[in-house]
Amino acid sequence: MPRRMRFPAGARSEDRLCAREECVDLELDHGSPVLTAELYEWMSSHPFRERLAGQLMIALYRAGRQAGALMVYEGIRSDLAEALGIDPNPKSVRTS
């Protein structure tokens, strides 16, 4: 009988989050409304997730909430700088 592969405890949740980010990208690409409340919730659980921040910024911008999008950028920029001493990757947080 083959042995089951073992993955680190967080691997499955990371895979789920990556898959959900892919779905959000598809929704954004097709102009579907994305629930900003859901994205805000994910950001509170994953504050260093640059791709997620970029998706939230796009959703806010498209909803006419440009100031909110700028606040998200400033928040992740500040969090990354304070905690890790880095700036966000420009590709991760671009809004176009």
pLDDT tens readout for residues 26-60: 999 888 777 888 899 999 999 999 999 999 999 99
Q: Where are the domains of the chain?
A: 47-96
Q: How many whole angstroms separate alpha carbon 38 and alpha carbon 65?
A: 16
Provide CB contacts within 8 A for 52, sequence distance 6+: 21, 39, 42, 43, 46
Show the tokens assigned to 87: 């700036």
| 56 close to 43: Cβ distance less than 8 angstroms | yes
Q: How many whole angstroms separate alpha carbon 75 and alpha carbon 53?
A: 9
Q: How many whole angstroms separate alpha carbon 69 and alpha carbon 95?
A: 9
- Lowest-confidence range among 16-25, 26-35, 64-73, 74-83? 26-35
Positive or negative, the CA dihedral 45, 48, 54, 60 is: positive
- Name the band, by pLDDT with cuts 50, 70 and 90, for residue 12: confident
Total-model pTM: 0.81
